[in-house]
Amino acid sequence: MTLPAFNEPTSLRQAQRTTRIVEAGCPVIIGAGLAGLSAAIEISPLPCVVLSAGAVSTGTSTGWAQGGVAAAVGPDDDPELHYEDTLAAGAGLCEPDVARAITAAAPDAIAWLAAEGAAFDRNPDGTLRLGLEGAHSRRRIVHAQGDRTGAILLETVVAGARRRDSISLWDHSPARAILTEAGRVTGVLVDTPDGSVELRTNVVLLATGGIGGLFAHTTNPLSSRGQGLALAYRAGATLRDVEMVQFHPTAMHVGIDPMPLVSEAVRGEGAILVNELGEWVLRNPLAARDVVSRAEWAQLQAGHKVFLDARKDPGERFAELFGSIYATAREAGLDPAKDLLPVRPAAHYHMGGVLVDLAGRSSVEGLYAAGEVASTGLHGANRLASNSLLEAVVCGRWVAQGWREAGLASGTPPAPLHYSVDVPWQPDPVVDAVRALMDRYAGVLRDADGLRTALAELEPHRDHETGLVGHLVVEAALRREESRGGHTRLDFPDTSPVAEHILSTPLAFSSSLSVNPDPQADQVVTP
């Protein structure tokens, strides 16, 4: 058994000395967000175990998502248009076959979620009410309760999982290592309040979310610091394009950590971006997120402040359309119908991740990934708005369908484990240091000097999972000597004529892969 070394709290190291062994005999899903629970529901009535680092239904990025689900379901829309918009936003790094397959599956994903109980917003005639977001050529954003789409979808899949006896939910049970033998998965080391458990299985799905919590300014839960990437990397899996971080241009700058998000849908309803002089930050507030974030950053670097002006549009309709955002603004002493909302770019979404094919298979036998932790090739260098929830549900279900076809889900799962644990936030000086470094040197604008400084300062922390992930992101950013999508290099401002993926493996850091336009090619690459 291969057990990667890592530097974690003493309580965990003590737990490891008293590890008990539990035979799962079925797939183990690490993560209880939309991707993980969609897979669990899809595989039912065949069994699986779902591990949640905290309480099931809390702490996942899914529940924080204000934007909706992108799907070509309108009368003037078509999946091919959705596909074209996705490629355009992805700045040359999308895998075309992947983008076409997932956008084509979007209408079915909406139907599946509705069948599970998701109450999407509808017009008086019963048709879906569709919103508009940046870089979309059509209104195709399906919402639930306005800006509560993520929360509603999480409630839906949590309820669906709890209705199914085949799904064994373990809460407050974070995975600490993927165990392997001879290059294939043999189990998961799990830290529970009752001690460490070696959960034996040959099939593991990583659905752990993103890395926004690596940055001092983020819209993500602070717990989202790339734990899944660290697990996969230590297990020997290949990662792809981990330098590609999307900075959302409208994080509310009101002294809250993490920063409250102001959905792009607000600009879809007419809000504009201005500085303190009333000058437009850019003429197209619905440009791709990387474009808008760089325009804002230029204003900030010039000494200006940036505001979202929603006073005219949506104006008095703001509270009705975006109730959660409105409530957050009011708590900060602001009325969006009367006041400018101070905003700035913040780390929001990770386009890179564990390299997988459309069945979710990584380069390690038995290890799968879905959702934000995975790199399917859908998002390329810059995710199209509202394609994240779409990818989570589509790819989560596809993973489960692949398991079913391969006969990988069988047996009787261990009993659910439910704990009443309220763990207060524990300051970690390594985490604090990494967040400051990443924000300073690997944010919206990057250069070689800053990235090398970050690498040197991160090197002593590579045994810490947060330090390891930060190091991987910075190292890949240093290797990408161009500006493309969410990655902007001041010292390499041009985009290379050849689009290449940056691969990170435990064995080598020098591999790159040209984008493969062949839809029949295997997407999993093992250097």
Domain harbouring 324, CATH code: 3.90.700.10
Identify which of 373, 312, 311, 331 has the alpha carbon closest to the alpha carbon of residue 175.
373
What pLDDT shows up at residue 417?
86
Residue 406 class from Cβ within 10 Å (0-12 exposed, 13-18 middle, 19+ buried)? exposed
Residues with a known catalytic role: 289
What pLDDT shows up at residue 25?
86
Do the domain assignments include residue 334? yes
Do the domain assignments include residue 97? no
Do the domain assignments include residue 114? no
For residue 323, what are the contacts with CB-CB under 8 A and spacing of at least 6?
Answer: 145, 146, 147, 148
Do the domain assignments include residue 23? no
Q: What residues form DSSP beta bridges with 51?
A: 30, 170
Whether residue 258 has a cis bond before it, omega within 30° of 0: yes
What pLDDT shows up at residue 265?
86
pTM score, two decimals?
Answer: 0.90
Q: At what angle do helices 429-441 and 448-458 cross, to 10 degrees?
A: 170
What pLDDT shows up at residue 507?
58
Q: How far apart are CA 236 and CA 118, in angstroms?
A: 38
The percent helix, strand, coil of the chain (3-state, each to 5) is: 35, 20, 45
Q: At what angle do helices 465-479 and 448-458 cross, to 10 degrees?
A: 150
Q: How far apart are CA 396 and CA 146, in angstroms?
A: 24
DSSP state, 34? H
What pLDDT shows up at residue 244?
98
Map tokens 């599946």 to a residue: 112
Do the domain assignments include residue 307? yes
Contact criterion met (CB below 8 Å) for 289 and 386:
no
- pLDDT by 10s per residue, the chain, length 527: 444 433 343 333 344 447 899 999 899 999 999 999 999 999 999 999 999 998 887 767 777 777 799 999 999 999 999 999 999 999 999 999 999 999 999 999 999 999 999 999 999 999 999 999 888 999 999 999 988 999 999 999 999 999 999 999 999 999 999 999 999 999 999 999 889 999 999 999 999 999 999 999 999 999 999 999 999 999 999 999 999 999 999 999 999 999 999 988 899 899 999 999 999 999 888 888 889 999 999 999 999 999 999 999 999 999 999 999 999 999 999 999 999 999 999 999 999 999 999 999 999 999 999 999 999 999 999 999 999 999 999 999 999 999 999 998 877 788 888 887 766 667 899 999 999 999 999 999 999 999 999 999 999 999 999 999 999 999 999 999 999 999 999 999 999 999 999 999 985 433 333 343 333 333 333 22
Do the domain assignments include residue 323? yes
What pLDDT shows up at residue 338?
97
Q: How far apart are CA 419 and CA 55, in angstroms?
A: 8
Domains in the chain: how many in total?
A: 1
Identify which of 91, 34, 174, 68 has the alpha carbon closest to the alpha carbon of residue 351.
91
Q: Look up the domain containing 331 and give its range.
A: 248-347
Do the domain assignments include residue 298? yes
What pLDDT shows up at residue 419?
84
Residue 507 class from Cβ within 10 Å (0-12 exposed, 13-18 middle, 19+ buried)? exposed
For residue 255, what are the contacts with CB-CB under 8 A and spacing of at least 6?
Answer: none
Do the domain assignments include residue 266? yes
For residue 232, what are the contacts with CB-CB under 8 A and spacing of at least 6?
Answer: 178, 206, 239, 354, 362, 364, 367, 369, 373
Contact criterion met (CB below 8 Å) for 252 and 348:
no
